């Protein structure tokens, strides 16, 4: 799998900016369900408070590709602009570790942060979760699991063009099916690697859009890229979240493609979008802390 994984990011790396120099970065390991899970903590320089809001961030890559470097620049920029700590998590990847391994690591990361928040300077009562593409799927799946288990949930979820359904062959044709850098064929391949068997697609922990209810979830920042095979399902998800009583703030970027979070060096609008996402995150966390956003 390593030969297949590496080339997928060569072209995107040409568009990536350098990470922000205004954050400190430290690598650490968190206790996972099977083994330790690598993670990377971003802290805005000059932060003096011992109880800073924290965003758990999960990278894109179809739960098959990616590592802590995949969203390194994006995480640093979000931390700098939002004033939040950001914890990037290198969850286990398929096909070596198929569903639900990545989700199990995501849940372990959330629980680890809640338990160990003070040791890293985070506020245990203000932990958000988010990610892009597959990372967005994992964030929402984790919220659904925590809700169903009647456990403490994230303060907020940041869903950047999330994957909603893993049965890609059953998805309607879209005008974006052959777009760069993610096509319908790519999504079919990712799903085949991630699932143990086609029946997994019926599990709402795998296909979050199949949950019987999306009510009772954290306030959501939903981000759409206009030139994206995942746009229609993302729009439908955002509408359903709002319809079922959740607070939803939508950010639309019609001119940007999928994976724009990794294009902040070569595409000025991509960097602007990341700054807007970070500012929206900061505003929502402040409002939530003041009790203006209901869970």
179-197 burial code (b ≥16 CB/10 A, e <16)? bebbebebbeebbebbbee
Report yes or no on 292 lying in a domain.
no
Report yes or no on 291 lying in a domain.
no
d(CA 73, CA 71) in angstroms, rounded, equals: 6
pLDDT above 90 coverage of the chain, percent? 84
Determine whether 105 is an active site residue. no
Report yes or no on 294 lying in a domain.
no
223-256 burial code (b ≥16 CB/10 A, e <16)? bbbebbbbbbbbeebbebbbeeebbbbeeebeeb
Structural domains of the chain, count: 1
| Set 105, 186, 200, 228: catalytic member | 228
Residues 6+ apart with CB under 8 A from 189: 62
CATH number of the domain at 180, please: 3.40.50.1820
Determine whether 11 is an active site residue. no
141: its two tokens: 């799946």
Distances in whole angstroms, Cα of residue 171 to Cα of each of 133, 241, 249, 258, 279: 16, 20, 25, 17, 33
Determine whether 72 is an active site residue. no
d(CA 174, CA 162) in angstroms, rounded, equals: 16
**By residue range, what is the domain housing residue 196?**
2-286
Residues 6+ apart with CB under 8 A from 50: 118, 121
| 295 has pLDDT over 70 | no
Mean pLDDT over each residue of the chain, to the nearest integer:
92
Dump pLDDT digits (tens) for 30-44. 999 999 999 999 999
Report yes or no on 181 lying in a domain.
yes
276: three-class secondary structure by DSSP: helix
Report yes or no on 34 lying in a domain.
yes
Report yes or no on 245 lying in a domain.
yes
Q: For the whole model, what pTM was predicted?
A: 0.94
Report yes or no on 23 lying in a domain.
yes
What confidence score (pLDDT) does residue 290 get? 67
| 293 has pLDDT over 50 | no
Dump pLDDT digits (tens) for 158-195. 999 999 999 988 888 999 999 989 999 999 999 999 99
Residue 258's closest CA among 222, 292, 231?
A: 231
| Set 20, 76, 88, 133: catalytic member | 133
Partner residues linked to 132 by β-bridges:
160
| Set 258, 264, 284, 288: catalytic member | 258
What confidence score (pLDDT) does residue 192 get? 95
């Amino acid at each position: 799998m390593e030969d297949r994984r590496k080339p997928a990011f060569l072209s995107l790396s040409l568009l990536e900016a350098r990470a922000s120099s205004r954050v400190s970065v430290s690598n650490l390991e968190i206790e996972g369900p099977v083994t330790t899970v690598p993670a990377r903590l971003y802290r805005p320089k000059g932060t003096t408070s011992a109880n800073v809001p924290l965003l758990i961030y999960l990278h894109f890559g179809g739960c098959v590709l990616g590592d802590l470097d995949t969203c390194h620049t994006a995480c640093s920029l979000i931390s700098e602009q939002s004033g939040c700590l950001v914890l990037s998590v290198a969850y286990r990847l398929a096909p070596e570790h198929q569903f639900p391994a990545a989700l199990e690591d995501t849940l372990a990361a959330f629980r680890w942060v809640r338990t160990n928040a003070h040791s890293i300077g985070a506020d245990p009562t203000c932990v958000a979760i988010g990610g892009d593409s597959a990372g967005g799927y994992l964030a929402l799946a984790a919220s659904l699991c925590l809700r169903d288990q009647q456990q403490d949930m994230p303060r907020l979820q940041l869903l950047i063009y999330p994957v909603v359904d893993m049965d890609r062959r059953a998805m309607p044709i879209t005008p974006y099916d052959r777009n760069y850098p993610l096509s319908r064929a790519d999504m079919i391949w990712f799903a085949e690697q991630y699932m143990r068997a086609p029946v997994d697609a019926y599990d709402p922990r795998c296909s979050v859009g199949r949950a019987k209810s999306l009510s009772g979830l954290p306030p959501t920042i939903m981000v759409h890229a206009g030139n994206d095979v995942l746009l229609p399902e993302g729009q439908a998800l955002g509408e359903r979240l709002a319809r079922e009583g959740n607070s939803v703030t939508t950010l639309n970027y019609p001119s940007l493609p999928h994976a724009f979070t990794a294009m902040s060096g070569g595409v000025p609008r991509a960097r602007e979008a990341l700054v807007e996402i970070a500012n929206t995150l900061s505003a929502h966390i402040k409002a939530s802390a003041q009790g203006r956003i209901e869970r």
